[in-house]
Structure 1
Amino acid sequence: MKKQEKIIAMFNEISPSYDKANRILSFGVDISWRQKACKKVLRCFTDNSSLKILDVACGTGDMIEIWQECAKEQNKKIAKIQGIDPSEGMLEVAKSKFKDVDFIQSLATELPQKNNEIDILSISYGIRNVVQRKEALDEFARVLKKDGILLVLEFTKRQKGGIIALLRDFYLKHILPLIGGYISKNKEAYKYLPNSIDGFLSKDEFIKELEKAGFDMMFFESFSFGVSSMFVARKV
């Protein structure tokens, strides 16, 4: 089984307990990271046009719910919102939570949307799970309209040193696999998380990849002592 297929199979296995594990393991703070990011992006659209939003690696739909809530709060109209994910198990959970959202099973490298169709494309905590990342970023640029916005939330490679970094690394490597494994009955899946972060890029390395794919960086912000990073880039 290829690496990408193994990752998808892992998410299929943990999908029934995914929401519960996320809330417990992040102490619910991931919701505030997502809210800050969505609000930041929506403020970039000052006209009254209806927005087309695509959430890639949507999982069980956490980000889609927050897009809807934040748009309502800012009086922004969403013409269409779609979720894309390669995991059938994750999409089954997502479909049970929403009635007005179009969910599609697809890889990030093979988006079914037309060229220049999307105003906002988001991917939260999913880009490091995409094996062919360059191809995915090219696809994001293809489906976004000119001046459309890409939002990436991710756990970037962590800086070493300092008491905060030591505590964070201890939690990720030792506590998270125990709790996540207990909840999901799949300890290996939650060992994968810290390993996948270590195998990902630094902030500067990822920004270079975004620029090579045709994006212009607008905003970067680090949350919770560098645990989570927000990248907001515009398609040029």
Structure 2
Amino acid sequence: MTGTPDNSFGFRAVAPDERRARIRRVFTGVAPRYDLMNDLMSFGLHRLWKRWLIAAVAPQPGERIVDLAGGTGDVGAGLAGPDRCVAICDPSVAMMEAGRKRALPHVQWIAGEAEALPFADNALDALTISFGIRNVTRLRDALAEMHRVLKPGGRAFCLEFSKPAFWLAPFYNLFSFQVIPRLGALVANQPEAYAYLVESIRRFPDQEELAALFRDAGFAQVKYRNFSFGIVCLHIGYKG
């Protein structure tokens, strides 16, 4: 499914919201080299982390699934299939245009922000977000929206950078603050953008704090699993 989306997901009208200028500039700037930079910054591990996410979702025939902040579509492509409805929803048109060039089959592309999702209540069986939730401007509102659009029993999956093990933290911080911005300058010509992305990781809630925010938003059976010694964490919550 490409081009103009159908109404498989139960769209609702959403009033235009003020765009977050800095974040939008960041992702517009990094879009052309985004996938390459992810490979360099994670030594290719981001592909493995996303495969684990897709395996956890285990998409089933007939399901409606949205990959929120889906960017260039690597997770959406892994979730998609001819027997289900899968959409990539992202506020950055530049990121989605980079993904569209890959001509992914069985995928819709929908512009939308986490704080005001363009889907009806109780419309989705599953919703995923990978390395995007830390960039929302109102985290509690985004989690509430994720809960709203899921059907009862629906699942939310959040893959995000988190707090690494204490022994790893000094090396991880050195790499993040010294190496990643330089890679951003060398490869993507966007040092400021990657400095922002590193800072957004540092400021983001840790594993237990994010789990508590999931519960506050109404999710049940909230659990999480650390990958790579806590560098990345997968949170899962269910709508009761």
TM-score (norm: length of structure 2):
0.87
Residue in 2 that maps onto 1:94: 99
1:179 maps onto 2:183 in alignment: yes
Q: CA RMSD in A?
A: 1.8
Contact 1:53 1:78 in 2 (8 A): no
Residue in 2 that maps onto 1:14: 30
1:83 maps onto 2:88 in alignment: yes
SS in 2 for 1:221: strand
Identity among equivalent pairs (%): 32
SS in 2 for 1:172: helix
Residue in 2 that maps onto 1:129: 135
Distance 2:83 2:232 in 1: 27
Task: Give ranges in structure 2 of 5+ residues lacking alignment.
Answer: 1-17
1:59 maps onto 2:71 in alignment: yes
Distance 1:35 1:156 in 2: 18
* Aligned-pair CA distance for 1:99: 4.4
Residues 51 and 233 (structure 1), Cα distance of their counterparts in 2 relative to 1, 3 Å cut? same
1:214 alignment partner, one of 218, 222, 234: 218
TM-score (norm: length of structure 1):
0.88
Distance 2:125 2:178 in 1: 40
Contact 1:207 1:217 in 2 (8 A): no
Distance 2:116 2:222 in 1: 26
Distance 1:24 1:217 in 2: 35
Q: What amino acid maps onto 1:230 in structure 2?
A: L
SS in 2 for 1:225: helix
Q: What amino acid maps onto 1:63 in structure 2?
A: V
Deviation per residue, 1:68-107 (Å, 9 max, x gap)? 3xxx7xxxx7420001111111010112222431111111
Q: What amino acid maps onto 1:190 in structure 2?
A: Y
Question: How many residues in Structure 1 have an aligned counterpart in Structure 2?
Answer: 222
SS in 2 for 1:229: strand
Task: Give ranges in structure 1 of 5+ residues lacking alignment.
Answer: none
SS in 2 for 1:93: helix
